Structure 1
């Protein structure tokens, strides 16, 4: 049976529930995923005076083929994009600036240092997102940045974040696609602090100074990202969920939820509907925590599907900005991008192919028997046939055939680095 024939049979199963499969695929094609560049080089970046990873970030593994230059990283991203259906975005960190061998500290970064990324994005019809890098730097060596007791260190990082917002605005203007610039900091303490309030006062004051700089929201949106704990900040993180949720709501900023930044029993999927009651938009960094914020490659697990379902059934596809955030150096890095991004898209397709309105009605009626029965039956509906057809229509490899492309690229390119 051909892919088209399997699709037509599967389509009938879904359409008997009123699900217009062709419309679903059109909608899916319009959902951009912001693919993080840092999977390709193990969060190394290209600074002339590069520092060791810090801020509780660790990348394990030494698989051959890590990108060593901006050109290699962009080539690897291009290869991954040929294996991923749809039109997407690329998410950059400030450490991916290109300064032509000149030492430019982070508080002095300019849009010109990302001109090559913008040129490349235009050539490939991609949007760009951005993040200031407040880790892996001598001024973050003690794990404190925007909440640091030293005002000179705070000022350095404030200026870096302001510069980053201007770079985000530049991206938005040049590409005609609004950039999301997200601030995450590693600040916290290893042991139980004697004063939780004062560092948070300093963080709030720093953020107020950063956002006092007028940036056109047509071109750049600001987000703040919380964390539960990290290596070196096991007992206390200054930028907690409650801190940033309050700050975002009060100051009309986006709150970004990283799926690895919460307690293991705390589900991000359960937060989305509540937060959308009070925010016009929110942002996601989708990762897969294993025991801690270990940023494993995203798999098609229950929580990923539940996140997608929450976005779809609450009609929030235009309200939730979806990005990825994982880094695994134990496997082929191009394969990691491909696996993770395809799974994010699969989860959205899964959500779009559910009879969500009818399931909501059953819940309202208290008919929990039929609701549960249908939820379970739809798990074995011919979802794969719809996915295969979508990949074929989008001109990317079907099923696991993409792996052959990655193996060939590894043989011809990655192993020669």
Structure 2
């Protein structure tokens, strides 16, 4: 342990203890949190089933930074490097297009065996796995519709794909001994004003009913549904709106996914958590940074991330909330993006845990808004960084920006040669 970091921690611990905040207990609690780190940051959402297929469904990755993963082994290696720089033990979130198989197989025919290499790797690394059907970047989604498609044959293809995805998720959960969250998101919608808003939603509801008709053990698989307000190519109308999926999730006991990039630019998901927690069986978060709506920038420690952390901690919602990341930036080193986003999310949770929530509540209930505001402001400059550095050291990962040298070395030795190999 770096003696300076230990000394700084001891001084900070004393300051927090004056307000009844036990920093040792907080770090123990933080170590039990599993974030679901999205695999698709590592290869720009290309996957391995249809690597020549153009991105669709409103998904776009900008930037051409060298070193993107080209194979499952490269992607797993990049994830290992990222996890070696992130405190705690977490999960990896896979999309169906990341199947590791030499077999030519379409999405509706995927089986657990096509992901066995991922399961073996996750078990070896001590990681969990989450899953998503891939309802985009496919010829049968070329017109922008999947589970709500008016063509029954095409709609059935996507139903069968989502059914297969749930079975794969259950396999992950049973094999790895921790539930897999299988999240359904579709890009369905119209660019311009539709003549009929109801019919596609009727078809989507019926399709989802069929998708979820097979009972699966919730100890192995947890179903989630994810909404969107609008998207590229669906600016006027999205079938799976927030109201649709909130209603469906509440009625059918599904996790409701809130993606921080999927709402209006002036709308935040932090303010939705307390209300939704009163009625939903559970919540799935996709933490992103919508600089300009759903632009999926790398997560940083900004005001909204801090507010999400506060809501989860102060509302005692961590046990009922599954936290995943969802961003893809091809303009910077992709391993660094994972590290920055994941460490920032953990910092937000830690900062929330280090705040005097009980004191703030008591002041509020007493009508002492002066104390509430004064404490909230003063704690913004409390030495949370000393607690974070100590946690990193305890976890065996670099403190502060020291991790960046590791990424730069990895870039030179592993990632950049990939581009050289491609040119040979």
Determine whether 1:15 maps to 2:26.
no
**Partner Cα separation in structure 1 for residue 170 and residue 400 of structure 2:** 38
**Partner Cα separation in structure 2 for residue 136 and residue 400 of structure 1:** 37
- 5+ unaligned residues in a row in structure 2: which ranges? 419-424
Question: After superposition, what is the alpha-carbon deviation per residue over 1:195-227, rounded to whole angstroms, capped at 9, x for unaligned?
Answer: 100000000000000001121111000000000
| Partner in structure 2 of residue 304 of structure 1 | 305
Q: How far is 1:49 from its partner?
A: 6.3
Matched position secondary structure for 1:54? coil
- Structure 1 segments of 4 or more deviating over 4 A? none
| Partner in structure 1 of residue 421 of structure 2 | none
The answer on whether the counterparts of 1:49 and 1:103 sit within 8 Å (CA) in structure 2 is no
Matched position secondary structure for 1:294? coil
Determine whether 1:349 maps to 2:350.
yes
| Partner in structure 2 of residue 66 of structure 1 | 68
**Partner Cα separation in structure 2 for residue 60 and residue 362 of structure 1:** 47
Q: How far is 1:290 from its partner?
A: 1.2
| Partner in structure 2 of residue 181 of structure 1 | 182
Question: After superposition, what is the alpha-carbon deviation per residue over 1:252-301, rounded to whole angstroms, capped at 9, x for unaligned?
Answer: 10100000000111110000000110123111000000112010000000
| Partner in structure 1 of residue 54 of structure 2 | 52
**Partner Cα separation in structure 2 for residue 293 and residue 49 of structure 1:** 24
| Partner in structure 2 of residue 169 of structure 1 | 170
Q: How far is 1:139 from its partner?
A: 0.2
The answer on whether the counterparts of 1:63 and 1:331 sit within 8 Å (CA) in structure 2 is yes
**Partner Cα separation in structure 2 for residue 93 and residue 126 of structure 1:** 16
Question: After superposition, what is the alpha-carbon deviation per residue over 1:386-405, rounded to whole angstroms, capped at 9, x for unaligned?
Answer: 00000001000010000000
| Partner in structure 1 of residue 409 of structure 2 | 408
**Partner Cα separation in structure 2 for residue 404 and residue 99 of structure 1:** 34
TM-score, structure 2 length as denominator?
0.97
Find the partner of 2:85 among 83, 86, 91: 83
| Partner in structure 2 of residue 334 of structure 1 | 335
Number of residue pairs matched by the alignment? 416
| Partner in structure 1 of residue 137 of structure 2 | 136
**Partner Cα separation in structure 2 for residue 137 and residue 296 of structure 1:** 24
| Partner in structure 1 of residue 157 of structure 2 | 156
The answer on whether the counterparts of 2:254 and 2:281 sit within 8 Å (CA) in structure 1 is no
Q: How far is 1:361 from its partner?
A: 1.4
Q: How does 1:207-226 map to 2 (within 5 A)?
A: 207-226=208-227
The answer on whether the counterparts of 1:288 and 1:297 sit within 8 Å (CA) in structure 2 is yes
Q: How far is 1:50 from its partner?
A: 4.0
Matched position secondary structure for 1:413? helix
The answer on whether the counterparts of 1:134 and 1:184 sit within 8 Å (CA) in structure 2 is yes
The answer on whether the counterparts of 2:171 and 2:220 sit within 8 Å (CA) in structure 1 is yes
Determine whether 1:115 maps to 2:132.
no
Determine whether 1:390 maps to 2:391.
yes
Matched position secondary structure for 1:14? helix
- 5+ unaligned residues in a row in structure 1: which ranges? none
The answer on whether the counterparts of 1:48 and 1:103 sit within 8 Å (CA) in structure 2 is no
| Partner in structure 1 of residue 203 of structure 2 | 202
Matched position secondary structure for 1:262? coil
Q: How does 1:243-262 map to 2 (within 5 A)?
A: 243-262=244-263
Matched position secondary structure for 2:296? strand
Q: How does 1:260-339 map to 2 (within 5 A)?
A: 260-339=261-340
Matched position secondary structure for 2:318? coil
